[in-house]
Structure 1
């Protein structure tokens, strides 16, 4: 099926096809983002460095600013990024801990 841009959709089948295609792209982008978490876990010298609240707030603020610039609901984007960043931290901690186990 040809994926149409949202404004050109006239049926729910077209909308759903577009959403499904975008979801696949989002998952691929998340894989790329988590690749950076893999790198961070490899690079950071100590476990305590994984959680950086100042950086977390900076990342969320940047997402909110970008969302506002394109007319997205900033409260919802802030909540989504809070979840994303916390998931990233948990993932990085897991990778950091696995790194230390393999070094023993």
Structure 2
């Protein structure tokens, strides 16, 4: 089981007085994002193990469902959709490519 994400202490953005505080905050968030993305990758690896056919690795309906959910969550969180949508579409594309590789490796 994966532990809950812990984000290093940082100065809130609205309280940052200099660029070193901004950079420390960004670096702390990047470390947390890497941990979350690694866990997401493990779910894609589980999907590769579970899916019975290579044909179902890429699922257009699911891609659009994920993007719609992310856009709704981004609105609630105050994240610009101009950032959220392209980032998630790229993330999904890379995850699908990884899943194909895992699917092939498991069955070779």
Q: Same fold (TM over 0.5)?
A: yes
Is 2:103 aligned against 1:89? no
Q: Which of the residues 7, 17, 22 maps onto 1:10? A: 17
Alignment RMSD (CA, Å) = 1.4
Q: Partner of 1:33 in structure 2?
A: 40
Q: Secondary structure at the match of 2:79?
A: coil
- Higher relative helix content: 1
| Residue segments in structure 1 that go unaligned for 5+ positions in a row | none
> Counterparts in 2 of 1:1-104, with a 5 A limit?
3-101=10-108
Q: Secondary structure at the match of 2:107?
A: helix
Deviation at 1:6, TM superposition (A): 1.3
The TM-score, its normalising length taken from structure 2, stands at: 0.88
Aligned length: 101
